[in-house]
Amino acid sequence: MIAPRLSHTPPWPTDPLQLDRSLDSFLREDIGHVDLTSTLMIDEALTAEFEMVAREPIVVAGLAIAARAFTLYEARIEIEASVEDGASVDKGRALMKLTGPARGLLTVERTALNLVQHLSGIATLTAQYVERIAGTGAQLVDTRKTTPGLRALEKYAVACGGGRNHRLGLDSGIMLKDNHIAVCGSIGAAVARAKARVPVLTRIEVECDRLDQVEEALAAGADLIMLDNMTLEAMRTAVERVDGRVPLEASGGVRLETIREIAETGVDFISVGRITQSAPAVDIGMDESLAISPAEG
């Protein structure tokens, strides 16, 4: 039986060409010239069956990515998933069964596990943040505080945990931060310059750390306003003054212990870098479920 998913829209899929390119790089890094242990110790004709098992309660992310790592290296590996990404599972739950050439399974094992453990860690922590703000109307979003080379996968994991993605990269939207504004001279000047040059469907967000800046960003025609490291009182005042004319994003030092009270100020989005930057990997193992046997033929 497939475990129930969290109640959220399925995340956007990873482009298969980009995924294969990344996985090829990950596998080459780990294998080097040859997997000496598996090649020397395991006969080429042997097959085996393993199960990937959750060793603690988790929200799952990255199973399809791990499955592709196995089949990219060894096309004869057969995979049967018992849960979907985004599912919340208990300790001891089997996530997938893998059957095929023993050498290939053991060569790819660590790379695949590293990915699933890391991505499921992000999804699990994200789900905890999402649970804390349930019923407030605020939505959790991620940031660009991601591991170089893993951004697309980490943002996918955030979506598996019930969060929303902010910018995927610098080309996804304009965010005018304090240094951009300082170079341009003012919020008004920065927004005007952006509006004159930006692609027509791209939104402009302005970072503000004072209420007078919120007023200026609103008057300049910003599409979104970020409330950066503001007090709860200042955020409540900003929500009242903006009065729903543009979405408001709270950001800066958000923790599990503080996110609920931030959400209750009435902001629309809360961005949290910790869900990608500091999420601990979860414990997932690959256990032998069927004795190794000679391959047919």
* CA–CA dist 228, 205 (Å, integer): 12
Q: Which two tokens stand for residue 211?
A: 């209420």
Q: Which two tokens stand for residue 182?
A: 């300082």
DSSP string, 207-266: EESSHHHHHHHHHHT-SEEEEES--HHHHHHHHHHHTTSS-EEEESS--TTTHHHHHTTT
Q: What is the DSSP letter of 60?
A: -
Q: Which two tokens stand for residue 126?
A: 């994200």
Q: Which positions are catalytic? A: 110, 145, 177, 207, 228
Distances (CA, A) of 5 to 89, 155, 256: 9, 17, 22
* CA–CA dist 137, 269 (Å, integer): 9
* CA–CA dist 271, 269 (Å, integer): 6
* CA–CA dist 251, 268 (Å, integer): 11
